[in-house]
A and B are shown apart, each in its own frame.
Chain A
Amino acid sequence: MTQDALLEIKNLKTYFHLQEGIVRAVDGVSFDIQRGQTLGIIGESGCGKSVTAHSILRLVPAPPGNIVQGEILLHRQQVPWRATVGRDNGNSATVGRDNGNSATVGRDNGNSASVDLAQLDPRGAAIRAIRGAEISMVFQEPMTSFGPMHTIGNQIIESILLHQAGMDKTEARELAIENLRKVGIPRPTEIVDAYPHQLSGGMRQRAMIAMALSCSPRLLIADEPTTALDVTIQAQILELLMALQEEFGMAMMFITHNLGVIAEVADEVAVMYLGRIVEQASVTKLFDNPQHPYTQGLLNSIPHIDEEKLPRLRAIEGVVPDPYEIPRGCAFSDRCPSFMPGRCDQAIPDLVAREQGHLVRCFLYSEAEEKLTRI
């Protein structure tokens, strides 16, 4: 769509078919992730931010989960006429090094430029060649994302050997040590032989990042990577991720519920509520001029440590509804201070551009509406 999209998601719908009913965890989400940029996704529990990430890598457990509609396009190469020169030096180097890549391309029926991840078999060779190589992921809980029975090094080496053809074990081990050093782990030559339980939470998360970066991914998905960590360690990890992004030129999708963290790392921010994006803008526009009542509510409800006055927090009323009892019409309508009876509870507003690059889904700004597909 715009400039130089690496990943383009169009109208993604991921539903979970459970006994209690259908949970529309992701219900019509569209966004782009630009090469080398960071898209922040913010939302509370149950908003579908993690399911979106898992859908991209096809990690949604099926059954009960299922991508029922939508495209997830991975654009491997820049569309030539849009090519920008400066930013992507690191990237082209990656392509050169990545011998495994060309093999992948072959398996994708010759569709080398773009792949629709939504169409791939979640257990197939094509998606497995992408996972961990072109797109990798850092999870929230560093304890459970490593297997406890193998050393950190062996797990990183395994991922390197899987994705980088032509590398032998010694080279892979050297690369693993090199990556551990890059993420700031002291004594990497010793830590490479340590088991996950021997490392602290912060160190484990660093090792996780080293593993995620071991194949120079084009896109790193970070799902609440600092939520389980202490603030000083969180700050270290955030700085590390941004420094590595600069070095490798990769794109990032950064998922969190912490508005402070998103303000620090993101270029573009999408706010999700109950399976839909309700507002999307550049990080400065979103924080300086939030438009959707939910975004405004979130920003008002958190304490600002650098404000001189200490006003009472203006909380959003109510709670995030149960996924089986989403209000009719706009999902936020039952908590919204600007609720318009007869309008918000009748139809779902469309996501429209309030101004260039600032999308809002709210009847305060939009006449357009989506057809009510649910009853």
Chain B
Amino acid sequence: MVDESKLNGATMSETQDVAPSNILLEVKDLKKYFPIQKGLLRRTTGYVKAVDGVSLFIEEGETLGLVGESGCGKTTTGRCIVRVYEPTAGDILFHENGSAINLNDLERQELKAFRRHLQMIFQDPFSSLNPRMTVLELVGEPLLAHGIASGTELEDRVAEMVVAVGLKVEHLPRYPHSFSGGQRQRIGIARALVQRPKLVVCDEPVSALDVSVQSQVVNLLQDLQTELNLTYLFVAHDMSVVRQISNRIAVMYVGKLVEVAESEELLRNPKHPYSETLLSAVPRPNPHHRMQRLNLEGEPADPANAPSGCVFHPRCQYMEDICKMEAPPLAELTPGHHVACHFADSLALQGIAYSDSIAVISG
């Protein structure tokens, strides 16, 4: 286990030299273990390795999509980055004006001051807003807390932000219960963006919304990104939505990254068997393309008791003996395309073909 994490770290620092210099956030070998406690004395009997050696970077102004199934650690990764959770180990480097700040080293007070650069948009617009606060209070609270603005200036900034997310100034004195799910999500977005953060972690921001409202929020997030020069870490499970908004996509499985690549490259040309499985399982709104599905055996592994070697090996149809023994490091296969698979360069995997070529096949 120890060797493997070193290996992961080493590969990543190599790639970092090659990567462009306008990196905003760099995560190195991030780990988050949750203790499993048992018995009267609550002794720790084991760990859920929710995030187990994740290394990634996000460039300024880009969107990195983080996808995976439930329990893969994608939300935990997002939360560790904004330090809602205390990481067990690892570095979270935030690059600002040529210098890097390690968020994982910051003390409480320093962190509080720094948080204005780092914000989060939550999945559930119903539980993430305090029902006893008006829109003005909800959106204005971060400005007050950080001492950025108060009085009329605060009201002006809140009004400006609320309009930017597609709500009206008349909505300011209202309480969350009088808004629909989509509007509440807009309030959540306004609250996150009002202090002009640099990095926003979006944790499944559209999953709880109606289909017709999802697209409104995706469009809004894209517009705001251009307008305010935001950088997104977009955590979601819906490949179609992630592709819509992301420049690059990182695929996570049981606490580890298995593949990172440019969005189109990952979709058309996946190199990890799990990415292939995930892509083939995406339901397509096209009745002419009915399930040509692949290896769909089994369920995601338990992060409290992860399999030896490559974590995906029990479900992998290309599994060989080495996969049971040795965990493959995340290595750069072609420029910008990182894969953690022993056979990444030899497997011929199936990505998503463009629909016109599908029509030819099915016709």
Which chain A residues have a beta carbon within 8 Å of chain B's beta carbons? 44-45, 200-203, 230-236, 238-239, 257-264, 266, 283-284, 287, 297-299, 301-308, 310, 312-316, 319-320
Contact = CB atoms under 8 A, between A and B. Distances in A.
Interface in B201-252: 210-216, 218-219, 222, 237-241, 243-244
Contacts of B354: 306-308
B5 to A, nearest CB: 26
Interface in B288-306: 288-291, 293, 296, 299-300
Contact of B355 (A307, A314, A315): A307
A305 B241 CA distance: 8
Contact of A231 (B278, B287, B358): B278
Contact of A319 (B182, B237, B239, B282): B182
Contacts of A297: 212
Contacts, number: 143
Contacts of B99: none
B296 A301 contact: no
A216 to B, nearest CB: 25
Given A260-B285, A303-B244, 18 more contacts: A44-B210, A44-B211, A44-B212, A232-B69, A233-B69, A236-B296, A258-B211, A263-B283, A264-B284, A287-B286, A303-B218, A304-B240, A304-B355, A305-B352, A306-B352, A313-B218, A314-B215, A319-B212
Given A230-B69, A304-B355, A320-B180, A238 B283 contact: yes
Nearest to A287: B287
A311 to B, nearest CB: 10
Interface of B: 69-70, 180, 182-183, 210-216, 218-219, 222, 237-241, 243-244, 267, 277-278, 280-291, 293, 296, 299-300, 352-356, 358
Contact of B299 (A200, A302, A312): A200
B118 to A, nearest CB: 27
Contacts of A319: 180, 182-183, 210, 212-213
Contacts of B238: 231
B355 A259 contact: no
Contacts of A307: 354-355
Contacts of B214: 301-302
B285 A299 contact: yes
Q: Give the one of A261, A262, A283, A307 with max B CB within 10 A.
A: A307
A320 to B, nearest CB: 6
B291 A235 contact: yes
A306 B284 CA distance: 8
Contacts of B277: 232
Nearest to B244: A303
B282 A304 contact: no
Contact of A234 (B210, B283, B289, B355): B283
26 contacts: A233-B69, A234-B283, A235-B280, A235-B281, A235-B293, A238-B291, A239-B296, A259-B211, A259-B285, A260-B283, A260-B284, A261-B283, A263-B285, A264-B287, A287-B286, A297-B212, A301-B215, A305-B240, A306-B352, A308-B355, A312-B222, A313-B215, A315-B216, A319-B180, A319-B182, A319-B183
A336 B188 CA distance: 27
B240 A301 contact: no
Contacts of A44: 210-212
A163 to B, nearest CB: 31
A329 B92 CA distance: 56
A284 B281 contact: no
B299 A202 contact: yes
Contacts of A238: 283, 291
Nearest to A284: B287
Given A284-B288, A305-B243, A230 B283 contact: no
Nearest to A229: B70
